[in-house]
């Protein structure tokens, strides 16, 4: 390696090391990639540009982890069980196959990272040979189109059983694409779409068609809009908050739905158990020029005067956000779904207690799992005969009839709206059910 090449390699080590460590820690500890990146980034002291590169490498590694694992196993003649080495090879191969990074930069930095690690000093030659082979055989690797290659087996089994094999395969393929950037605007969506070269979706969100730094977009400083997936924007709209109504947003952070409710003129209480996440919510509201009362508390134990309307975006497995957070597929397991459904039921029961007679409750989760959606809604109605479902009409969600279940609930899938935004189409997988609390006079004896 020449002096110039070595200098270039050294300059590129920081973001690759951060991506490598973040992927390794996220898999090892089964915690969200974003949390690990936030934890590890300060130690690297990277520029915003290099931090963005590290995140891009880590995200695409998780998005195509199945493909990367298969490709590497095929090219590791002796195999290895060293997870740290496999993750280093994975981030190197991810750059070669799926990012606009020169092959030599991906290979040379991976080799240097191995040589700098006392546990992997011996593996520099192996890393060099395997990644160079990946680069040579790029076309053959990318030609493999098994829709399930990048989905863990537990999710394949669940989705095939719930949605049927054809729809499940479309979900899996949608997760290979980069998620869109959608905005919720305070008013005049067509005008803002024109200013940002975006498009207005049938649901009312504005979708960006080009990647741009969010803070550089027109309207950011003025607080004219906020980033929110098109599907995530629907539950608050379905609640139909009105000016002066007393509304609770339970499990509110990061605050997109709180902003929607506040923008509608409601008197909003935003509740979240994480003070750190609630602080971010408050900062977002300040930028937007919106006000809401915030409370750092466990929503299960909330004791307030009854509300006119409640939005409960319950903690869930988040399998509907895999396009945006592909680490979810590999850091969550089937056992997590069971634990979370019990929590969701308890939160629903508390919300029912906090709602006025005649009040409205919207329950939602960013999950594709029936236990956290359709079955949870049915179970709630069985436990609470004083509640009835208030069916959702397609006209309320931009005439997307495919997103309304026979029971009248909302169910979006990652391939819905796929044509809107080119290779960044689609939307998060969301479930939402709307209920109304009957008055005592209307309740059955």
Q: How far apart are the first and last CA of the chain?
A: 84
Distance CA 382, CA 242 (A): 29
Element (H, E) at 287: helix 275-288
Rg over alpha carbons for the chain, rounded to the nearest Å, is 23
Handedness of CA 295, 297, 299, 305 (dihedral sign): negative
Distance CA 233, CA 238 (A): 9
Cα–Cα–Cα angle for 400, 405, 410, nearest 5°?
A: 65
Cis peptide preceding 311, ω within 30 of 0 = no
Distance CA 400, CA 101 (A): 39
The answer to whether residue 366 is catalytic is yes
Residues forming a β-bridge with 182: 207
The DSSP code sequence of 89-111 is: HHHHHHHHHHSS--HHHHHHHHH
3-state helix, strand, coil in the chain (%, to 5): 50, 15, 35
Q: Are 250 and 315 in contact (CB under 8 A)?
A: no
Distance CA 340, CA 389 (A): 22
Q: Which two structure tokens, joined as six digits, stand for 19?
A: 């991506």
CB atoms within 10 A of CB 254: 17
Cα–Cα–Cα angle for 21, 27, 30, nearest 5°?
A: 120
Report the interhelical angle of 165-174 vs 153-163 (nearest 10°): 130
CB atoms within 10 A of CB 61: 29
**Active-site pick, 251, 316, 364, 366:** 366
Contacts for 135 with CB less than 8 Å, ≥ 6 apart = 96, 103, 106, 107
Distance CA 70, CA 404 (A): 37
372 backbone dihedrals φ, ψ, rounded to 5°: -95, 0
Closest CA to 21 of 61, 49, 48: 61
Residues with active-site annotation: 366
């Amino acid at each position: 390696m020449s002096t110039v090449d070595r200098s270039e390699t050294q300059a590129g080590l920081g973001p690759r090391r951060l991506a490598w460590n973040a992927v390794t820690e996220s898999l090892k500890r089964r915690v969200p990639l974003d949390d690990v990146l936030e934890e590890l980034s300060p130690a690297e002291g990277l520029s915003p540009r290099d931090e963005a590169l590290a995140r891009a490498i880590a995200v695409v590694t998780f998005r195509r982890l199945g493909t990367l694992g298969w490709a590497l196993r095929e090219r590791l003649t002796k195999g290895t069980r060293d997870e740290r080495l496999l993750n280093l090879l994975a981030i190197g191969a991810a750059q070669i196959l799926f990012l606009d990074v020169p092959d030599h930069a991906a290979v040379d930095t991976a080799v240097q990272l191995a040589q700098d690690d006392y546990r992997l000093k011996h593996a520099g030659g192996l890393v060099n040979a395997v990644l160079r082979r990946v680069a040579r055989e790029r076309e053959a690797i990318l030609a493999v189109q098994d829709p399930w290659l990048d989905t863990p087996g537990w999710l394949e089994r669940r989705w095939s059983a719930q949605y049927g094999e054809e729809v499940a395969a479309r979900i899996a393929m949608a997760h290979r694409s980069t998620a869109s950037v959608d905005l919720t605007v305070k008013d005049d969506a067509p005008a803002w779409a024109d200013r940002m070269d975006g498009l207005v979706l049938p649901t009312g969100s504005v979708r960006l068609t080009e990647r741009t730094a969010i803070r550089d977009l027109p309207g950011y400083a003025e607080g004219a809009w906020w980033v929110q997936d098109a599907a995530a924007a629907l539950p608050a709209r379905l609640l139909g908050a009105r000016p002066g109504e007393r509304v609770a947003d339970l499990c509110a952070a990061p605050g997109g739905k709180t902003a929607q409710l506040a923008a509608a003129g409601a008197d909003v209480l935003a509740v979240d158990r994480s003070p750190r996440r609630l602080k971010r919510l408050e900062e977002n509201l300040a930028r937007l020029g919106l006000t809401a009362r915030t409370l750092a508390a466990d929503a299960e134990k909330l004791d307030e005067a009854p509300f006119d309307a409640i939005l409960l975006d319950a903690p869930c497995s988040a399998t509907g956000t895999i396009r945006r957070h592909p680490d979810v597929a590999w850091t969550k397991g089937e056992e997590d779904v069971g634990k979370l459904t019990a929590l969701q039921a308890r939160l629903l029961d508390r919300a029912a207690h906090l709602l006025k007679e005649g009040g409205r409750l919207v329950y939602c989760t960013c999950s594709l799992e029936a236990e956290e959606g359709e079955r949870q809604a049915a179970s709630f109605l069985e436990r609470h005969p004083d509640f009835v479902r208030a069916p959702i009409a397609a006209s309320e969600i931009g005439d997307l009839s495919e997103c309304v279940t026979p029971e009248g609930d909302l169910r979006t899938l990652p391939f819905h709206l796929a044509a809107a935004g080119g290779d960044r189409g689609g939307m998060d997988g969301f479930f939402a059910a709307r209920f109304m609390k009957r008055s005592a006079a209307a309740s059955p004896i």
